[in-house]
Amino acid sequence: MTPRGRRRTGMVRPYTPADGHAAPTRRSLDLATILIADREMPLHGLGPHAYRVMQHCLPGALSVAEVSADLQLPGAVTKVIAAHLVDSGHLIARNPAPAAQKHDRALLERMLNALQEL
């Protein structure tokens, strides 16, 4: 039993911050998924954790892992909240660019040629 006036901290069931949902509605979300907030969607009516996720994503694009770490929520819980926000249109989810598509091939070939000429 905790002393009077002190809140007990500890384990919270994962479905509690996710408004009673235990699994994400989208299987396509992973920790590397990029979340982009739709600035036109109203924030009133959102639960407290969903509101925090939206407030965190409004300045720019963040990954699910970044949101999870910054808000100190487990990744699985963050994915559930994010999935519901994507379903409602509050968030847009984008897969990160594959590593092979991040580089300009022409630039890499010019660099390789320059190195070979040395």
pLDDT, tens digit, 9 for 90 and up, residues 75-95 = 888 888 898 899 889 999 998
pLDDT exceeds cutoff 90 at 63: yes
Mean pLDDT of 55-69: 90
Give the mean pLDDT of the chain.
79
pLDDT exceeds cutoff 60 at 15: no
Query: For 20-31, b where at least 16 C-beta lie within 10 A, e where not — what string?
Result: eeeebeeeebee
Displacement of CA 17 from its chain's centroid (Å): 15
